[in-house]
Structure 1
Amino acid sequence: MSQGVFHRLDGVARNISPFFVTLLLVLMALLPIRVTDFGPIVPAVALIGVFFWSVHRPDLMPIWAVFIIGFVQDLLTGGAWGPGIVGLLVAHALVAWQHRFFLAASFVLIWCVFMLVAAVAMAVTWMFTCMAMMTYIDPEPVFFQFLMTVAIYPCLAWVFLRGQRLFQR
């Protein structure tokens, strides 16, 4: 009987790990780093996590999890509530819309699609932030955040793939 309980707990832990890993990345991205002017261009690690898990294991990154990740990110950044949620939901929706495309795609192709999805999601987030703050915000930091996000995607994707293989054992 206890074998069944531990087996079910193991299954639950494996199923919620992408959600909690992405939340952990959100928290780590908000840690203070003593690098001048790094704050505005911190990579959008939540976007990377949502995109990766929506492509490779969409069953483990449902829309409610994306909403909670976006809400926590908006809550902790101290900005307007909503733009981060909308950006992540747009990214999730774009991936879900074309999920069959990703089934046989190579890493390079997925990375190129990530560039497009990240550009759209970050532009939507920037636009909603401008509307929520009722002011024009310079898009230059968003552009550099986009570049940092695209540059770090392969590293995090590699870590996520290793974790996914570990969980499949």
Structure 2
Amino acid sequence: MTPDQAPEFQAGIQPRTSLWRRLDMLSRRGLPAVLTGVAVLLLSAPFGVPGQAELLPGVLLSSVFFWSVFRPASMSSPIVFLLGVLVDLLGFGPPGVMLLVVLLVHGVALLGRYGFARVHVLVLWLVFSGVSLGATVLQWGLISALSLRLVAIPAFAFQWALGVGVFPLLCVVFTGLGRSIANPDRA
């Protein structure tokens, strides 16, 4: 090859991404938020399953915490805000309580994500248990203050226990999704 004949592509330069690849990347990046929204809708539906209402905050907090730690672009602050608004609109609690709780959990996960992403899953589970306990106590306190009476603690303890119990299962599912269909790098 002569010096005035340049190769078609130089090392490190990629061709422009097509519209379909960009749509694929966008759909993969948005999958965690969509799945969380669908879970909120399903857990808010009146199916009559025992513990269904108490499971909703645990699934929501688990999802927001996990994706905020491992794929913060997939669970950005505006998406968390919209999920919190959705839960507040579908729930029977005081407006804004779950929105504030979910945003605080998201903020804690983002602040510690570099450390949380490196720890063993059992340590991450313990961290989530503490964050979830703080979120549940805050939710209980806000609902008690807004209703001007002390709300029964056992319902919130059950809600916390369900959230902590479902976190390892959701971690397994989310890790599998994060390595396959929810990975924008594989688009």
TM-score norm. by structure 2 comes to 0.82
Candidates 130, 145, 149, aligned match of 1:116: 130
Question: Is 1:28 paired with 2:37?
Answer: no
**3-state DSSP class of the match of 1:135?**
coil
* Other-structure match for 1:72: 86
Distance 1:71 1:142 in 2: 20
Distance 2:52 2:178 in 1: 30
Question: Is 1:50 paired with 2:64?
Answer: yes
| Rg larger for | 2
Question: Is 1:59 paired with 2:73?
Answer: yes
| CA deviations over 1:115-163 (Å, ceiling 9, x no partner) | 0010111111221222222322112101011001111111111111111
* Other-structure match for 2:28: 14
CA offset at residue 40 of structure 1? 5.0
Say whether the 8 Å CA contact 1:41–1:145 is kept in structure 2. yes
Distance 1:103 1:152 in 2: 19
Instruction: Within 5 Å, give how 1:97-112 maps onto structure 2.
Output: 97-112=111-126
Give the percent of matched residue pairs that are identical in Structure 1 and Structure 2: 28
Question: Is 1:41 paired with 2:29?
Answer: no
Q: How many pairs were matched up? A: 166
Say whether the 8 Å CA contact 1:19–1:65 is kept in structure 2. yes
Say whether the 8 Å CA contact 1:83–1:126 is kept in structure 2. no
Aligned residue type for 2:20 = F
Aligned residue type for 1:42 = L
Structure with greater helix percent: 1
Structure 2: where are the runs of 5+ without partners? Answer: 1-16
Say whether the 8 Å CA contact 1:47–1:88 is kept in structure 2. yes
| CA deviations over 1:6-33 (Å, ceiling 9, x no partner) | 1111011011111111111111211233
Structure 1: where are the runs of 5+ without partners? Answer: none
Candidates 135, 146, 163, aligned match of 1:149: 163
Say whether the 8 Å CA contact 1:86–1:124 is kept in structure 2. no
TM-score norm. by structure 1 comes to 0.91
Deviates most, 68-77 or 132-141: 132-141
Distance 1:103 1:143 in 2: 27
* Other-structure match for 1:129: 143
Distance 1:98 1:33 in 2: 37
Q: Which has the higher contact order (CA 8 A, sep 6+)?
A: 2
Deviates most, 155-164 or 41-50: 41-50
Deviates most, 106-115 or 94-103: 94-103
